[in-house]
Amino acid sequence: MTLRIGCIADDFTGGTDVAAAFRRAGLRTALVFGVPDADTSLPADCDAAVIALKSRSTPADEAVAESLAAQKWLWSKGAAQVYFKYCSTFDSTPDGNIGPVTDALLDAAGAPLTLACPASPPNGRTVYQGHLFVHDQLLSDSPLRHHPLNPMTDSSLPRLLAAQTPHRVGLVPLTTVRAGVDAVREALVAHERDGVRHVVADALTDEDLAVLGAAALELPVVTGAAGLAEGLGHAYPASGPAVAEPLPTGGRSAVLAGSCSARTLEQIAEFYAAGLPSLHLDVLAAAAGRDIVTEALAWYDTQDADRPVLVYASASPDELAAVQRQLGVAEAAAQVEELLGALAARLVERGVRRLLVAGGETSGAVTTALDIRTVLVADEADPGVPWTRTTTPHGDLALMLKSGNFGAPDLFVRALKETS
């Protein structure tokens, strides 16, 4: 089996997002959680494989080591090109990890230069004159300047990258992109001659990203967000509409939510408003030793098997602050992840075959608890939120892993109705 393209994503739900983009471009796409080992196999006939790492905010040397191991594995499966996927808001610390990881991937591939473009027009992320915009604001004027882990206070991608690499950084401006694929290729050749290693490209639209994708098709390493990945996917010969990936039928449906993001709280409210059964987990009681998992399962067993259920730890900002004050942030998170992981495993044992998980960290806890290493990407319920298909010892499972702020407010109700 030969892959057309391999991808390394620097966080979990970013992996889901970019996998959905490859599928939109018509590629049969697998998503692998964590660095694969020699025993990790891919579903048959995959065109693209995305390895989802958690390397965005880890020490740079760890992020580099994991990314190189992932690149090597992708090469072993036949991928000639490796796409490094990071956030469309270029989330990184002043000295990493985007620059160091990209340099390491380029060194390993023996490649002279790469193209970098985090534009994601459907999400309002565009790049002009190397400056990253979030809707109508420069990145540095947007709410991302207050991000708790990686505050983004500069919008200039060449400047941000230059701080993360010892190599030269250049720009392909929009005028060149609009001049077409050959003009971009010529600009890349000129940059290579000048010793530039990281070429930032402007893009305002999906059409711009399609031009960049076609121009970058032969580069061993390309970097960006889901937008350029889709452009690259469309440029592959014989890409077409995605092939249907049927989801398992039968069994029960459940949502597990651990995200406290505003959009997830709205999705929980819509589920409740639709008259569907939901249960809030008492994190403080669990920390005090009460067997909340057994209580939740007893509740689940009394519910109508034909209706989806929602079990959530998600809390409003006030409630979250109160729990965190009492337990500490790390202990609170550990409690929630243990509860939701254990519940996922027991629900699948009890016949749940459609499972929707809300929250990036929560998704990690659930896939770990279910020991799921690889999934195949199926249709999107909302942009960047695909269903996936996987197997468990108890049967096939339709699994949706969504980042806290992704999906429309009615996602939980609609996604589970559509697949039942």
404 binds ligand ADP (CB under 6 A): yes
Q: Which of 336, 398, 400, 413 binds ligand ADP (CB under 6 A)?
A: 336
Q: Per-residue x/- marks for ligand ADP, 313-332, CB under 6 A?
A: xxx----x--xx-------x
Site for ligand ADP in 263-282 (CB under 6 A): 264
Rounded to whole angstroms, the Cα distance separating 358 from 369 reads: 15
259 binds ligand ADP (CB under 6 A): yes
Order across the sheet with 131-134: list the strands. Answer: 125-128, 131-134, 137-138
Number of residues that bind ligand ADP (CB under 6 A): 22
401 binds ligand ADP (CB under 6 A): no
CB atoms within 10 A of CB 94: 11
> CA angle at residue 71 from 69 to 74, to 5 degrees?
110
Residue with smallest beta-carbon separation from ligand ADP: 404
CB of 329 to ligand ADP, least distance (A): 8
10 binds ligand ADP (CB under 6 A): no
Rounded to whole angstroms, the Cα distance separating 221 from 86 reads: 13
403 binds ligand ADP (CB under 6 A): yes
CB of 85 to ligand ADP, least distance (A): 17
Rounded to whole angstroms, the Cα distance separating 246 from 258 reads: 27
Rounded to whole angstroms, the Cα distance separating 227 from 239 reads: 16
CB 3 within 8 A of CB 48: yes
Rounded to whole angstroms, the Cα distance separating 382 from 22 reads: 15
CB of 265 to ligand ADP, least distance (A): 10
The helix or strand, by DSSP H or E, that contains position 22, with its residue range, turns out to be helix 12-24
367 binds ligand ADP (CB under 6 A): no
Q: Which of 46, 260, 310, 347 binds ligand ADP (CB under 6 A)?
A: 260
Give 221 or 336: the residue with its C-beta nearer to ligand ADP: 336
Closest C-alpha to 172, from 133, 136, 215: 215
400 binds ligand ADP (CB under 6 A): no
Residues binding ligand ADP (CB under 6 A): 258-261, 264, 283, 313-315, 320, 323-324, 332-333, 336-337, 359-362, 403-404
